[in-house]
Structure 1
Amino acid sequence: MQADQFLFPTDAGLYCPAGDFFIDPVRPVPRALITHGHGDHARAGHKAVMATARTLDIMAIRYGADFTAQRQIADGPVRVGGVTVSFHPAGHVLGSAQIRLACDGGPVIVVSGDYCRTPNPVCQPWEPVACDVFVTEATFGLPVFRHPPPAAETARLLSSMAEFPGRKHLVGAYALGKAQRVIALLRQAGYDAPIHLHGAMQRLTDYHVAQGIPLGDLRPATTPKEIEGQVVIAPPSAFASPWVQRFRDPVIAFASGWMAVRARARQRGVELPLVISDHVDWPQLTQTLQDLRPEEVWVTHGAEDAVIRWCDLNQLRARPLRLVGYEEEEE
């Protein structure tokens, strides 16, 4: 069986007819395999969902316990129809996984979802998985994206707090993964003061703590007078709401790989852009393709053309899938 007969894009997402399932579908389907809990990959309404135990828990936190009629924990290789399926760490957020598909007499395909090779204190590290076809994202798939070490960006945040001790530092971060990573990075750097959380962060952060991830002294961001520490972490959407007006002359920061694009930082009114990404940058993406050397590379979303061109220059067969709806998590 040819790879593009075994797995192919549809309006709902990647579909595998041999197993009769979709991967990260963008609309409700009978059976979905989910790589991780971000809102652009994990949606409610599927009849049956297979994912890691942590991703299933995260989906229940975000969408309610009845987000699907049937849950199946991805625990070791399992047969789904005529396909052997296994989940492997992606290094993106807690519970994130690459999905390996092996069809009898067919190719081995690894769908990476979103992945990152930089060590992350709040999730398992990315694991290389040998395959015939590697399906990669290209969120930061341009040579200009070369993310600095997270510790260096954390040091910039600490330096700003030392320079402006009277100003609260409001850090924009996605509620799943990035918020907890910023907290963990601050703790690793020796910052042990209270860190305050916008209410939208609380349940997911509590779940990380319950999973054994130490995040230190965390408190709600209620009124500015009750905030003892300098750091308040909130979802990006909060900075366009009246919530931010509670704070007098704050330093507005935002933790994202997109902060490498200064125009984006200016558009958001960000004073302190922190280039902290949970995705592969250009060197990591191309190094992954060199390490795996699959027979073929498929590119799901992002800067597909640049990655395809790099593959052509490096004697790797490649094709774009032109999937839509995966660029950023829904807040």
Structure 2
Amino acid sequence: MTAPHPETWLKVTPAGLFCEPGGFFIDPTRAVDRAVISHGHSDHARPGHAHVLATAETLAIMSARMGEGRAGVSQQALRFGETLDVNGVRLWLRPAGHVLGSAQVCLEWRGARVVVSGDYKRRPDPTAAGFEPEPCDVFVTEATFALPVFRHPPPEAEIARLLRSVALFPERTHVVGCYSLGKCQRLAAMLRQAGWEAPIHLHGAHVALCRTYEALGIPLGPLRTATVAKKEDLKGAIVLAPPSAIADRWARRLAEPVVCNASGWMRVRQRAKQGGVELPLVISDHADWDELLATAEEVQAPEVWVTHGREDALIHALGQRGIRGRALHLVGRGEEDEGEAPGEAAA
């Protein structure tokens, strides 16, 4: 018997991607009865679902961000590689490498296999399990950095640039704009790997999730709250803060701040300049152009569906490689983390 094509049973709806035979949504954009959540960023994890399935780490992150009870009336944790039968749909999770607990949602129904990757990256990250390719018939991918201009340098080299600047300007505070979930903790862990042993100072908005990471077994070393520190104590220090705070009045409390930003968008000099960024750090939690194409080849899928980002460029490049592409135009993606804000141009 011929396996049913995934587009006959995995549908795009106003609430998001819906698995009809399984009766559940994947990363729905509104409250639903049954949701499978790939990771904790707010454009994928929304409050108010009745039943939520995710990794234990994602469930903990959702509860920390939304408050107890808002991250699903009932929650079910699924370990990587553990399989579940949901109304005849075989479901399992594979690491996505994006942030702690982030997962690819793998589905198989009547011989057809789909992998919904969520957001993912291919570079090593001391705070998240590395991406694992899963062969499939349809691969659902993001396309945040799907333009040839986006080729990320080694993140270790960017951390080394930051530490060289700290050594060069010991009287100044280096304040690094970074998102509160994933990027902040990754930067802290990479700084520790690079030998930075001094306390890392945090904007108040970053404290809670760092504590959550530590409670989940991710060591980040000594952390301090920057808002209670004296300006004198912050000379030569590294401060991690939300991107919105680094050019704000908040940064004035720091000692002659060197404004940095850690994002894949820092590849675009105009963005760095517009944001008043003195030291742009190209450190991304998303796959770059080459990695998106390599991943599509690795999973051996004859068809790739693109959820958000630079769909046209990626679909064109995939077509040249004999892979059929389809834009899903899911609403509400890319609203947190490095995702492009609505209406912005990528380059």
Instruction: Tell me the TM-score normalized by structure 1.
Output: 0.96
CA distance in 2 between counterparts of 1:237 and 1:20 reads: 39
Q: Pairwise mapping of residues 97-246 of structure 1 onto structure 2 (< 5 A)? A: 97-103=103-109, 105-221=110-226, 222-223=228-229, 224-227=231-234, 230-239=237-246, 241-246=248-253
Equivalent in the alignment of 2:294: 287
Q: Distance in 2 between matches of 1:229 and 1:144?
A: 33
- Paired residue for 1:25? 28
Would the aligned equivalents of 1:194 and 1:229 in 2 still touch at CA under 8 Å? no
Letter in 2 for 1:318: G
Deviations 1:131-165 (A, max 9, x none): 11100110001111100000110011011111111
Cα distance between partner residues in 1 of 2:335 and 2:174: 24
Indicate how the Cα distance of structure 1 residues 249 and 229 shifts in structure 2: closer, same or farther if over 3 A, else same: closer
Shift of 1:241: 4.2
Number of the residue aligned with 1:47: 50
Which aligned segments of 4 or more residues in structure 1 are displaced greater than 6 angstroms?
none
Name the CA distance, whole Å, in 1 between partners of 2:124 and 2:55.
20
Inter-partner Cα distance in structure 1 for 2:324 and 2:337: 32
What is residue 268 of structure 1 aligned with on the other side?
Answer: 275
The change in CA–CA distance for 1:330 and 1:278 in structure 2 (over 3 A counts) is closer
Deviations 1:205-257 (A, max 9, x none): 11222222222111111233444751010112323543222224201111111
How much does 1:183 deviate? 0.9
SS of the equivalent of 2:44 reads coil
SS at match of 1:146: coil
Determine if contact 2:120/2:285 at 8 Å carries over to the other structure: yes
Match status 1:14 vs 2:17: yes
1:311 maps to what in 2?
318
Seen in structure 2, the aligned counterparts of structure 1 residues 328 and 262 have a Cα distance that, compared at 3 Å, is farther
- Structure 2: 5+ residue stretches without partners: 339-347
Give the number of equivalent residue pairs: 330
Partner Cα separation in structure 2 for residue 29 and residue 239 of structure 1: 37
Counterpart in 2 of 1:71?
A: 75
Cα deviation for residue 106 of structure 1 reads 4.3
Q: How many Å apart are 1:81 and its aligned residue?
A: 2.0
- The answer on whether the counterparts of 1:49 and 1:72 sit within 8 Å (CA) in structure 2 is yes
Q: Of the candidates 26, 37, 40, which is equivalent to residue 40 of structure 2?
A: 37
Aligned to 1:148, the other structure's residue is in SS state coil
Distance 1:181 1:267 in 2: 25
Residue 253 of structure 2 corresponds to residue 253 of structure 1: no
Query: 81-90 vs 108-117, which deviates more?
Result: 81-90
CA RMSD of aligned residues (A): 1.5
Aligned residue number for residue 325 of structure 1: 332
Native 8 Å contact 1:3 1:106 kept in 2: no
Question: Which residue number in structure 1 is paired with residue 342 of structure 2?
Answer: none
Post-superposition CA distance 1:66-116 (Å, at most 9, x none): 11211111231112223111111001100000000111x241000000011
Equivalent pair of 1:18/1:83 in contact (CA under 8 Å): yes
Contact 2:172 2:236 in 1 (8 A): no
SS class of match (1:284): helix
Output the CA distance in 2 between the equivalents of 1:219 and 1:328: 28
How far is 1:318 from its partner? 1.5
Give SS of 2:165's match: helix
Amino acid in the other structure paired with 1:41: H
Asked if structure 1 preserves the Cα contact closer than 8 Å seen for 2:170 and 2:235, the reply is no
In the alignment, the residues of structure 2 paired with residue 136 and residue 255 of structure 1 have an alpha-carbon distance, to the nearest angstrom, of 23
AA aligned opposite 1:273: P
Measure, in 2, the Cα distance between the counterparts of 1:272 and 1:229.
15
Which sits farther off after the overlay, 76-85 or 91-100? 76-85
Q: Deviations over 1:29-58 (max 9, x none)?
A: 111110000111111111111100000000
